[in-house]
Chain A
Amino acid sequence: MKQKYFLFGIILALGLSFVGLYSFKKLSSESNQNKTDSTSTDPRQSASPQAQLTTTLNTSTEKGPLPATAPSSFKESFEQIAQSIGTTVADPEKADQAITNLATKIDKAQLKELYVQITSPKSSGDEKLLATELLIRSSLAESVNYLKQIANQSATEHASNSPSTQQEFQAIQMLAVEGLAQKPQFKAEAKTALNELSQSTDDPLLLDRIHRTRLTLDGKVDAPEVQDQKALEQVLRNHHTR
């Protein structure tokens, strides 16, 4: 009798375990299938930026060995922060610190990848914005030249035919120009970059930003951000009629 109980217990234990394992595996595979279905219905979706970043990491147009693959944590952190831009945040200061923390980890190869991402029409606006901000906060000297190159692009060449995407790219360029004044350790290089930019662009809006940033570097005026805030607050105070 006792043996029967013992055997019965063993069989029950094994049977229940198999049932549990089978159910887990079945439902897991169904969940993955649902995600695949939802992403495959719309042919209009642009290439995944993750795929693009991966592609960029794995190719090189330069001679010599391929650049080392970036640590996966950088990509993950980048995507995580990029996606959080489109959400409300409980702690904006913490969100800001996350960007600074990521910027400290950037190496030279990643700087170039960020530049490629900014100038790629396939990147989303939030990805371009984050990539530019990371270039600004990077402590590497090469970031100055990349910011200058961004500001020197033609918005109509690097954005789609949609005027809105061109205007957004112009905002990215304004940000890149401002960023040159946020690298005190590269003040001379930033001044040179701003002078060269002022000679090569015929866009008055960008030139205005260049001039304000140049004067900020010279310590003669407030930073453009400070001036903007004052102006926008004045707009909101002044204009109130329907």
Chain B
Amino acid sequence: MMKSSVFSFKTFFYSIAISLAMVLTHLPTAHALPVFDNEFECTTKEKADQYVKDFKVNVRSFGGIELCDHQIDTKKLFNDFSLVEEGRFNTAASNLLIGNFVPTNKYYAWLKEQTLGMNRANDYPWATAYNSNGYFTMQDGWAQLSSLGRVGVVLHEARHTEGYRHIPCNFGPYSGADLPACDSEFNYGGSHAVEMEYYARVAVFGENFHPLYKKMARLMAMGRSNFVFNKKIISPHEALFLIRKDRPEGLLIDGSNLYLREVAGTGILKRTSFGPTLYTPQIAFSLDPYEWIGDTRPTEDSYSYFKLLTLKNGLPASQFPLDLEEYDSGNKRFLAAIDQKNQFGLYNFKDGGWGKFKSVSTRPPIGFKTQYQDQHGLFLVLSDYKLLKFQPNNSTFEETKFVWDSAQISFMKSPEGEVLQLLSDGVVRTIDGRVWEPTQNTLWNQAVNIPLYDAFTVH
């Protein structure tokens, strides 16, 4: 009897234990454990509530509350707020900066102060977002951007709440469009400057950002600096290259530094985007501005557009250019030629060939110039030495008052930006006739400004 009771009790006990074990192992949880690491990136409900409240987000317009799915705009927005709130910068280094538009450690608080509400719509498809008295409306373009781009747009819009407005662009891809898309300069401290300041900080001082987020920040800062400020902030730095009259030797003047350079080959000294080149109608020879190689053999220019002279899609021999010139206007490059029939033509980069050549004046052109005194542009020198100026908007020429002095070889700029001129007597002078000191002891044959790509100039 006793044994049976014990047996029954043990059986009962073990049954309870087993049933409890089975129940506990099958207890339903409120949310299954994540399978992939990315599911750990879900925004918590508390954080989502905080963001919605702080920025008065119209959650429904963004697709409803979504804590995990990165495809949904709400989750994208939560990620962006998280980046603003939790992104850290090297304060020891950034404290060396004298001042800033938005304090490094105050982005979240500042953004919250500038935001009266956030909405999602697509009522202005050509815009990325707009700010109406502190109420931001994010367009489809915003949702397609990278994480960095989306954060940049939000910060950009926030600056508008403080009263900063755009003006029409006089440079870059939006110039001539009469759209208020630019700021006058970086120092104005407008929306473009705040956005670029953030990108630069992430790139230079960012500590806990993803490496690709930082990489994108660097590229976006460099790219945008080119076309959102009417006064350029970053550009390739310019140098002056001269060729001696008495021997095939060049001089590079880079800032206050003077360097001897080899000159191999003969031709007209031209500025190309790759540096100096000696141009002839059949072939061009590149000159190395970066070092003295110790090789006197001419090097065919295979880098710049002057290479097109020898390419299959170049001009036929009977039409070898009388003159060839590169010219940049905003975000567009032009390659212009005057053929042996004195006709003008432009290279079509998209089609990979020359457009139709045509006459532009009853007075035949004899060559190109890219600077007249302090004026930059593409100028056509006619047989009577009058100048026509190229209009990039419609690829035509207009008359000017300028007349090229036949004793003039070229106009250039000194490293300090002073206008210089080289006359046929071989002397470099300032525009008011003074001999320019750095080159005063030598006579020069040719001179041109060239871009150098070993650093940037920050204005």
Residue ranges of A at the interface with B (Cβ–Cβ < 8 Å): 1-3, 5-6, 8-10, 12-17, 19-21, 23-24, 26-28, 31, 35, 38-39, 41-42, 44-46, 48, 76, 79-80, 83-90, 92, 95-96, 99, 121, 124-126, 128-130, 133, 154, 160-165, 167-168, 170-171, 174-175, 195, 198-205, 207-208, 211-212, 214-215, 220-222, 225, 227-242
B141–A160 contact, CB under 8 A? yes
CA distance A233 to B302 in the complex (A): 34
A198–B303 contact, CB under 8 A? yes
Contacts of A225 in B (CB 8 A): 218
B141–A239 contact, CB under 8 A? no
B8–A2 contact, CB under 8 A? yes
Q: Which residue of A lies closest to B199 (CB)?
A: A232
Please encode chain B, from 11 to 54, with 1 for each CB lying within 8 Å of some chain A CB and 0 for all others: 11111101110111111111110001110010000000000000
In the complex, the 6 A-B pairs of residues with the closest C-beta atoms, listed nearest first: A125-B146, A162-B141, A9-B15, A86-B147, A2-B8, A13-B19
Q: Which residue of A lies closest to B203 (CB)?
A: A232
The answer, among A167, A208, A239, for a CB contact under 8 Å with B224, is A167
Contacts of A233 in B (CB 8 A): 200, 204
CB distance from B103 to the nearest CB of A (A): 12
Residue ranges of B at the interface with A (Cβ–Cβ < 8 Å): 4-5, 7-9, 11-16, 18-20, 22-32, 36-38, 41, 62-66, 68-73, 76, 79-80, 82-83, 86-88, 94, 96-101, 122, 125-128, 139-149, 153, 174, 181, 186-187, 189, 193, 196-197, 200-201, 203-204, 207-216, 218-226, 233-234, 236, 273-274, 290-291, 302-305, 307-308, 311, 328, 331-334, 349-350, 352, 451, 453-456, 458
Q: Which residue of A lies closest to B329 (CB)?
A: A204
A17–B19 contact, CB under 8 A? yes
Is chain A's interface secondary structure helix, strand, loop, or mixed overall? helix
Q: Which residue of B lies closest to A50 (CB)?
A: B71
B209–A23 contact, CB under 8 A? no
B454–A222 contact, CB under 8 A? yes
CB distance from B84 to the nearest CB of A (A): 10
CA distance A24 to B9 in the complex (A): 30
A6–B304 contact, CB under 8 A? no
Q: Which residue of A lies closest to B68 (CB)?
A: A35
If A160-B140, A204-B333, A225-B218 touch, whether A195 touches B302 (CB-CB below 8 Å) is yes
If A92-B209, A207-B273, A236-B100 are given as contacts, then 17 extra A-B residue pairs at C-beta distance below 8 Å, sorted by A number, are A16-B19, A17-B23, A27-B28, A31-B32, A42-B64, A88-B209, A162-B144, A167-B220, A174-B223, A200-B352, A203-B333, A208-B273, A220-B454, A228-B203, A229-B203, A230-B455, A231-B458
The answer, among A39, A164, A200, A227, for a CB contact under 8 Å with B128, is A164
The answer, among A95, A126, A204, for a CB contact under 8 Å with B147, is A126
CA distance A89 to B29 in the complex (A): 28
CB distance from A158 to the nearest CB of B (A): 12
B101–A199 contact, CB under 8 A? no
The answer, among A15, A23, A208, for a CB contact under 8 Å with B28, is A23
A238–B453 contact, CB under 8 A? no
Q: Which residue of A lies closest to B9 (CB)?
A: A5
B303–A214 contact, CB under 8 A? yes
List 12 contacting pairs A-B, 8 Å CB cutoff, sorted by A. A9-B11, A13-B18, A14-B19, A45-B63, A85-B212, A86-B70, A86-B79, A161-B126, A165-B144, A202-B332, A236-B201, A240-B100
If A86-B147, A129-B146, A230-B456 touch, whether A20 touches B140 (CB-CB below 8 Å) is no
B186–A235 contact, CB under 8 A? yes
CB distance from B193 to the nearest CB of A (A): 8
A198–B220 contact, CB under 8 A? no
The answer, among A80, A125, A200, A237, for a CB contact under 8 Å with B37, is A80
CA distance A31 to B305 in the complex (A): 62
CB distance from B243 to the nearest CB of A (A): 21
A20–B27 contact, CB under 8 A? yes
Contacts of B221 in A (CB 8 A): 228, 232, 235
Contacts of B216 in A (CB 8 A): 125, 129, 171, 175
A211–B141 contact, CB under 8 A? no
CB distance from A31 to the nearest CB of B (A): 7
CA distance A11 to B273 in the complex (A): 88
CB distance from B290 to the nearest CB of A (A): 5
Contacts of B139 in A (CB 8 A): 162
Contacts of A96 in B (CB 8 A): 211
CA distance A10 to B18 in the complex (A): 10
A241–B454 contact, CB under 8 A? no
B19–A38 contact, CB under 8 A? no
A35–B69 contact, CB under 8 A? yes
Q: Which residue of A lies closest to B145 (CB)?
A: A125
CA distance A10 to B11 in the complex (A): 9
A235–B72 contact, CB under 8 A? no
The answer, among A92, A215, A227, for a CB contact under 8 Å with B208, is A92
The answer, among B28, B125, B220, B224, for a CB contact under 8 Å with A161, is B125
